[in-house]
Amino acid sequence: MRNICVKVSYDGAGFNGFQSQPYGRTVQDEIEKAIKHLTGEDIIIIGSGRTDAGVHAMGQVFNFHTSSTIPTVRWAIALNTRLPKDIVILDAWDVPNIFHSRRSAKRKTYRYSIDLGKFPDVFARSYRFHHPTKLDVVAMAEGLAYLVGRHDFTSFTSIRSTKPHHVRTVYEAYFEREGDALHMYITGNGFLYNMVRVIMGTLLWVGQGKLKPEDMKRILDGKSRALAGPTAMPHGLMLVNVEYGDPYELTEPPSAAVDDEDDE
C-alpha cells in the first residue's frame, strides 16, 4: 500500500466543516467521493485536524493509504477534475507508511481576519469578520503577546472540548495590517477546539476597551472559559498551513506533537 499526503484548500462557506458528519456537506465526504470515483476504493482520509463549519483552509493536509498506481504528479489534477469548485487540491506526494497527517504534524498556523472598513469589502465578506467600529490594535497586539509560549489554554477553548489536557505551545502570534483588513497569525504545536476563535473574541474585547491587555494573562491563569470573551465568528478563520519536517526522518510511529485530536 502507498501512503499519499495531499495539500488542499477549501472555501468553508459551503461546508458543515471538514470532518464527515451525519448531516450536511463536508470537505472529507467530497474528497472521499472523488477518490472513490478515481480509484474505486472506499478510503477514509486522515485530516491534520478538523475545521468547523464556515472555517476556511488555504493549506489543510490529509493522507490516505491506497493500492492505486496513479503517479504522484497526476493525483492533484485527477482529483480536482472530480471535486466541486470550492475544494482545490494543491499538491500530492508519496510519504512513508509511518506518516500520519495529524500525529506527525509539528506546527500549525491559523489566521483570523477582520475587516475594519466602514462598510464590508463585498469580495471578502465570507473571509473576514466585519468590525466597523474603532479597535485599539496596539492593545490587542499587547494582549496577544501574553499567549506566546507553553500554557494551559483551558480558558481559551470551548467547554465542549473533550481533550485530556489543555497545554499547548504557541510559537508565534502577531497582527498584520493589509488595507482595511487586520489579520492575526498564530502558530502553535496544536490548537484546542475553538481556541483561535476564543482568543480573537477576547482580543476584540481588549480592542474595544472592555479588557486591558494584561487581562489576557489573568484569563490564562484562571483556567476557566467563563473568564474569556465570546467565540469569534467562524468565517474569519483560515487554516494557513501545517508543517511536518522531513517525513523520511520518521523512524518510529510518531508520538503526537499533542496527545489528542486537534481542531478549530
Cα–Cα distances (Å) from 240 to 57, 92, 209, in that order, read 6, 17, 29
Binding to its own copies by residue 11, rule CB under 8 A?
yes
Q: Contact with its own copies (CB under 8 A): which of 75, 112, 127, 153?
A: 127
Binding test (CB under 8 A) with its own copies, winner from 43, 53, 58, 137: 58
Only one of the segments 3-11, 21-29, 35-43, 254-262 lies at the binding site for its own copies (rule: CB under 8 A); that segment is 3-11
Nearer to its own copies, 100 or 130 (CB): 130
Q: How far apart are CA 128 and CA 141, in angstroms?
A: 18
* Piece of 83-91, 104-112, 167-175, 204-212 that binds its own copies (CB under 8 A): 83-91
Location of C-alpha cell 469548485: 85
Give the span between the Cα atoms of 168 and 94, in whole angstroms: 30
Contact with its own copies (CB under 8 A) among 89, 116, 198, 204 = 89
Return the number of the residue (83 or 257) whose C-beta is nearest its own copies. 83
* Residues noted as catalytic: 52
- Does 66 bind its own copies (CB under 8 A)? Our answer is no
55 within 8 A of 238, measured Cβ to Cβ = yes
Least separation in angstroms between residue 243's CB and its own copies is: 21
Amino acid 153 reads F
Stretch that binds its own copies, among 29-37, 62-70, 92-100, 115-123 (CB under 8 A): 115-123
**Least Å from the CB of residue 117 to its own copies:** 9
Q: What is the DSSP string of 26-63?
A: -HHHHHHHHHHHHH------EESSB--TT-EEEEEEEE
Q: Determine if 235 is a binding residue for its own copies (CB under 8 A).
A: no
First to last CA, the chain: 31
- Judged by CB under 8 A, which of 20, 21, 39, 80 binds its own copies? 80
Residue 10 in contact with its own copies, rule: CB under 8 A: yes
Among residues 156, 43, 42, 26, the alpha carbon closest in space to that of 83 is found at 26
Among positions 1, 22, 23, 122, the unique one binding its own copies when judged by CB under 8 A? 122
Distance CA 100, CA 88 (A): 21
123 in contact with its own copies (CB under 8 A):
yes
Spatial neighbors of 226 by CB under 8 A, at least 6 apart, are none
Kindly state the DSSP code that residue 261 receives in the 8-state scheme. Answer: -
| CB of residue 88 to its own copies, shortest distance in Å | 4
> Residue 110, annotated ligand binder?
yes
Known binding positions for substrate:
110
